[in-house]
Amino acid sequence: MAFLENLLLVTLAGLVTALATGLGAIPFFFVRDVNNRLNVVLWGFSSGIMISASLFGLIREGLAEGTPAEIAVGMAAGVLLVVLAHNVITNAEVDPRQYEEADFKKLLLILGVLTVHSFPEGIAVGVSFADLGIEGGTPIVGFTVPVLAVFMTVAISIHNVPEGTAISIPLRAMGVPRWKMVWWAVFSSLPQPIGAAIAFTFVRLAREVLPYGFGFAAGAMIYLVLTEFVPEAMERGAELSSGGKPEFVGGAVAGALLMVPLNFV
């Protein structure tokens, strides 16, 4: 029974990160467009958060549980899974503007594509809860929650907000109602609570794989930043006179500075 209660809490944490994606659509309730400069800053901010969470959260915690070699193997596995997943869905990238016209088959394809991007983040949340209920955590609603779990849940929730904005931009352009934009933004992160539940179950049943789990989540997230977030930011910043690089770096530094102190609370 205790395990099921813990699993429910972890799933709810993953759901919180998914719901945070919907916040990215909120600006469109007040303004018509989000300019490219702000978009680049937001992608940089998100990248700084994810890199900081991976280095100072997952990898540091992993080294406390295992060896550098185990962490490296886990990171390689995380990168490999994302690469393989991308290869499987090559040429299947789905523009969010197609959501409204999607039939059931198309929705399954969309969810598969989104899983590649969101599932590793859910895994990071699930792995960070490995010590749930063990002395030394933070009391929250009757549970003893590891500080790392709070750190990762906050980090990924903040990171999901600009992702929600990016998803909402094309939907706004095609006249999708604002509340539907919020729904589709949340929909894009639904794999996160699923990944969190699976990862938590795995590391609790097979504790010896925990260092690999930390490495896996960190490797997948760092790889996504380098291959998805940075190119996305540079594409949106191409029309700026600076090319978007100063805005991206400034956002990344701000994101990193925001998350580092949380790791030492």
Q: Which range has highest mean pLDDT (22-26, 140-144, 162-166)?
A: 22-26
Tokens of residue 242, six digits: 């600076």
Question: How high is the pLDDT of residue 20?
Answer: 94
Q: Which helix (H) or strand (E) holds 233?
A: helix 230-237
Question: Where does 24-177 have alpha helices with state H?
Answer: 36-52, 60-65, 68-88, 104-128, 147-173
Q: Are the C-beta atoms of 251 and 112 separated by less than 8 Å?
A: no
Which of the 8 DSSP states describes residue 133?
T
Q: How confident is the model at residue 10 (pLDDT cuts 50, 70, 90)?
A: very high
CA distance 3 to 8: 9
Tokens of residue 194, six digits: 């699923």
Q: For 168-208, what is each residue's pLDDT tens digit?
A: 876 776 677 888 889 888 988 888 999 999 999 988 888 78
Left if phi > 0, otherwise alpha if psi is -120 to 50, otherwise beta: which for 243? left
Tokens of residue 80, six digits: 């490999």
Residue 96 burial (CB count, 10 A):
22
Residue 145 burial (CB count, 10 A):
23
Query: For 37, how many CA atoms within 13 A lie in the half-sphere containing its CB?
Result: 4
Q: What is the mean pLDDT of residues 20-42?
A: 84
Distance of CA 219 to the CA centre of its chain: 13
Rounded to whole angstroms, what are the CA distances from 30 to 33, 41, 45, 173, 178? 9, 20, 22, 15, 10
pTM to 2 decimal places: 0.79
The partner residues of 138 in beta bridges, in order of sequence, read: 145
CA distance 252 to 40: 10
DSSP string spanning 84-110? HHHHHTTT----GGGGGG--HHHHHHH
Q: For 74-130, what is each residue's pLDDT tens digit?
A: 999 989 887 877 776 655 555 555 555 555 455 555 555 566 667 888 888 999 998
Q: Which helix (H) or strand (E) holds 51?
A: helix 36-52
CA distance 97 to 102: 10
The partner residues of 145 in beta bridges, in order of sequence, read: 138
